[in-house]
Amino acid sequence: MKLRYFMGEKKLKAAVVLSGCGHLDGTEVREAVLSLLVLDQQDVDVKCFAPDINITQVMNHKTKEATKEKRNVLVEAARIARGEIYDLKGAKAENFDMLVVSGGYGVAKNLSDLSENKDMVTVMPEFERLVSEFSVTKKPIGAICISPAIIVSILSSKIGKEESKVKVTIGDDREQLIEKLGGEHIKCDTGLSIEDEEHNVFSCSAYMRSDESKFSLNSCSGKEAMINLDVITFDINIAIDGQNGKTMKRNLKGLEFVTKDDGSWYINKDFGNDRFEVIVKQS
């Protein structure tokens, strides 16, 4: 990006939007830190922003359970920015050359209601305004993890009939989320990215791709099963090969994950006389 957008001796400036601190209720910390590192390596001036609002649902990142705590998105995001962060209301595209939005559930819970409504997403007005400003002025927008979905949701309503759909990636998108929001999804490996040069949107999947998780299933009777993990809600669906070749689908929505010392999560579930242990481990 530095080579493409470098303008003479002018130092580029990036607005980085954070949505809290921690992937379950805010910004995914690793994605944010690595983004800031790359921008620094490219000699880009960075200014971080976050909305001055309460976190929609504060999560305990050890137990992965919701808590009754009240926390502020801006205050929590300041942990990542080492205190150098500003209210999102003050961010204006005219003062920057690019916009970068990391992922994490904060994007789907605090900047929007995507976690609750995947068909007609409502986006925070200040964030929608900022994204629209960058789009209108044809300045690049970098979107990571789940944030491309919100970018698509914002821009799709503003694109004319003669323009093509916004092209992004969130990895595999088995639920066709991007299409539902009005965009075009491009399947992409985790280490690669998608460039939509027409709309100046650059996206990568990061932790959204299923190849970022390892799945194993053990059964005392040796039955085969397939596991699907919803990366937005953390719901697990297990399809078990039953009698007469039929498949039984059991939704484990709402079950609590137990965190093990090695970083994996596990749940146990009985299906009749059979017991399955599902292990989901971040790679």
- Active site (catalytic) residues: 145
At 177 the three-state DSSP class reads helix
Asked if 55 and 25 count as a contact pair (C-beta separation under 8 A), the reply is: yes
Render 123-176 in DSSP notation, one character per residue.
Answer: B-HHHHHHHHHHHHTT--EEEETTHHHHHHHHHHTT--TTSPPPEE--S--TT-
Q: What are phi and psi of 40, to 5 degrees?
A: -65, -40
What is the distance between the alpha carbons of residues 164 and 169, in angstroms, rounded to a whole number? 16
What is the distance between the alpha carbons of residues 33 and 50, in angstroms, rounded to a whole number? 15
Tokens 């039955």, located at residue: 223
Q: Give CA 71 to chain center in angstroms.
A: 20
Which amino acid is residue 179, in one-letter code?
A: E
Specify the DSSP element, H or E, that contains 189. none
Bridge partners of 275, per DSSP, are 270
At 49 the three-state DSSP class reads strand
